Amino acid sequence: MKGVKVIGFDADDTLWETETHFQAAGREFCALLAPWAPPEKAAEELFRTETANLGLYGYGAKSVMLSMVETALRLGGDGVTAAVLGRLLETGRRLLDYPIEPLPGVKKTLGELKPRYRLVLITKGDLLDQERKLERSGLKNYFHRAEILSEKREQDYLDLLAELGTEPRDFLMVGNSIRSDILPVLGIGGRGVHIPFRVTWRHEQAEPPAQDPDRFRELTDIRALPALLK
């Protein structure tokens, strides 16, 4: 991994915990919808609604909240009361305000890397929500800049690297999602380090590429990243 000049870091489930909160919200949704659908069907219908709505609502808590309400009305019809809808909205609001604590080793690792590289936060989701999470995380000052994208496709990374004045070969992306953080970056000639989180949203799951000492590695702990780059 010689020659890296800019390191991009995903945020959710790379720097701080997110998916466990969303999965807890999903379980609450299934419990509330129990009168109209078994848990497996409710969960599958919610996932179907969320993925169908990505083009309209994007990613994040607000998208999940709207998708929960839409799915509840589709499954329960007129039987879904105002009280149930209120509980769903409250579940969604909690997703906007859960505690943001850096995962183990994150601060130490960013502190080691900052003097040697330009560090860029690259995440996707709702602009206000992601900005608030970054502020509450206490990590903002470690980064040269923060980019909140609606998607992470090859062209999105190319546009960002052009703004940074960085060639893909000099760029390394670090994240927990093979689909969003690794494959698009490898596709444009960049490099990737995958650090799996213990749970991953179905939409972000993909088969990892083969290990490549120069372009792709998988680590179990972010604290191993400085040694890898040395």
User: What is the percent of the chain where pLDDT is above 90?
Assistant: 92
**CA separation (Å) from 199 to 72, 176, 223?**
25, 10, 19
The pLDDT of residue 93 is above 80? yes
Bridge partners of 67, per DSSP, are: none
Does residue 7 sit in helix, strand or coil? strand
pTM score, whole prediction: 0.92
Place of tokens 């991953």: 200
Per-residue pLDDT, 73: 97
Same fold, 6-16+100-229 and 19-95: no
Q: Cα–Cα distance between 46 and 53 in angstroms, integer?
A: 11
Q: Residue 147 in contact with residue 171, Cβ under 8 Å? A: no
Q: Cα–Cα distance between 201 and 181 in angstroms, integer?
A: 14
Q: Cα–Cα distance between 9 and 101 in angstroms, integer?
A: 16
Per-residue pLDDT, 230: 86
The DSSP secondary structure of 77-88, one letter per residue, reads GGG--HHHHHHH
Whole-number mean pLDDT of the chain? 96
C-alpha torsion angle, residues 169, 171, 174, 178 (rounded to 10): -40
Per-residue pLDDT, 211: 83
pLDDT by residue (tens digit) across 178-223?
A: 999 999 999 999 999 999 999 998 889 899 898 888 899 999 999 9
What superfamily in CATH does domain 6-16+100-229 come from? HAD superfamily/HAD-like (3.40.50.1000)
C-alpha torsion angle, residues 23, 219, 194, 114 (rounded to 10): 100
Instruction: List the one residue out of 100, 104, 158, 174 whose CA is nearest residue 132.
Output: 100
State the DSSP H helix or E strand holding residue 137, giving kind and residue range, or none if neither: helix 127-137
Q: Domain 19-95 classified CATH 1.10.150.240?
A: yes
Residues comprising the chain, all counted: 230
**CA separation (Å) from 79 to 57, 84, 102?**
26, 10, 42
Ordered by start, the domain boundaries in the chain are: 6-16+100-229, 19-95
The pLDDT of residue 1 is above 80? no
pLDDT by residue (tens digit) across 133-180?
A: 999 999 999 999 999 999 999 999 999 999 999 999 999 999 999 999
